């Protein structure tokens, strides 16, 4: 990956949200309203999708800072952190194409470190495992949004999806050596790994 891979995703997922939020903040502050931002469970635990996770970790930090700064003005800042849902963003063909584009841009020595079949193994694993784990019930996310907007006592964070509640969030609270071991165990090993 190159810096531009990070910039492109951070510009949309983080800086775009910050720009929109700050542009309407005076009105929300005046009305003692609410800000509800959508992040991801990948803002709490990192997978190998570096730029996406970096942007979502940034979103979590922005929400936390904004929540603390706006509390004295009666503004509530809430965050929805969905697990993996079946949406256009989660389309395996789209993700496979993104992986392939990154792979094709890598210097030959890096590709050699990973091995010629690494990208193919990654695509197979994505199709076999990832697609089956996607939650198709988007109403879980919509219900969290509705609650965040209308509840008298909204939660600070919402984590819709079985995977978020029972795997990703518990994993994020574990010591790093445990969560790392679990995540690394499930990664495809590069050819040159030890």
Write the CB contacts of 21 (distance below 8 Å, at least 6 apart in sequence). 35, 37, 62, 66
135 three-class SS = strand
CA 73 vs CA 31, 130, 155: distances in Å:
10, 43, 18
Query: Element (H or E) spanning 3, and its range?
Result: helix 3-10
Q: Whose CA is closest to 38, among 64, 60, 65?
A: 60
Within 58-135, strands assigned E span 76-80
- Which residues touch 64 (CB under 8 Å, ≥6 apart)? none
At 59, list the tokens. Answer: 């979103």
Helical pair 118-125 and 92-105, crossing angle rounded to 10 deg: 170
Q: Is 52 a catalytic residue?
A: yes
Q: Which residues are catalytic?
A: 52
């Amino acid at each position: 990956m190159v810096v531009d891979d990070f910039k492109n995703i951070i510009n949309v997922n983080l800086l775009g949200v910050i720009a929109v939020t700050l542009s309407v903040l005076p009105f929300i502050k005046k009305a003692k309203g609410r800000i509800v931002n959508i992040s991801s469970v990948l803002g709490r635990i990192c997978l190998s999708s570096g730029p996406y996770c970096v942007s979502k970790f940034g979103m979590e930090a922005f929400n936390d800072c904004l929540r603390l700064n706006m509390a004295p003005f009666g503004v509530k800042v809430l965050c929805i952190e969905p697990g993996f849902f079946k949406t256009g963003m989660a389309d395996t063909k789209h993700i496979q194409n993104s992986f392939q584009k990154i792979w094709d841009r890598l210097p030959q020595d890096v590709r050699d470190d990973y091995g010629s079949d690494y990208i193919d193994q990654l695509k197979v694993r994505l199709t076999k495992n990832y697609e089956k784990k996607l939650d198709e019930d988007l109403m879980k996310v919509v219900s969290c949004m509705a609650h965040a907007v209308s509840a008298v006592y909204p939660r600070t964070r919402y984590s819709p999806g079985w995977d978020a509640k029972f795997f990703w969030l518990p994993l994020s609270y574990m010591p790093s050596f445990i969560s790392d071991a679990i995540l690394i165990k499930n990664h495809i090993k590069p050819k040159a790994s030890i």
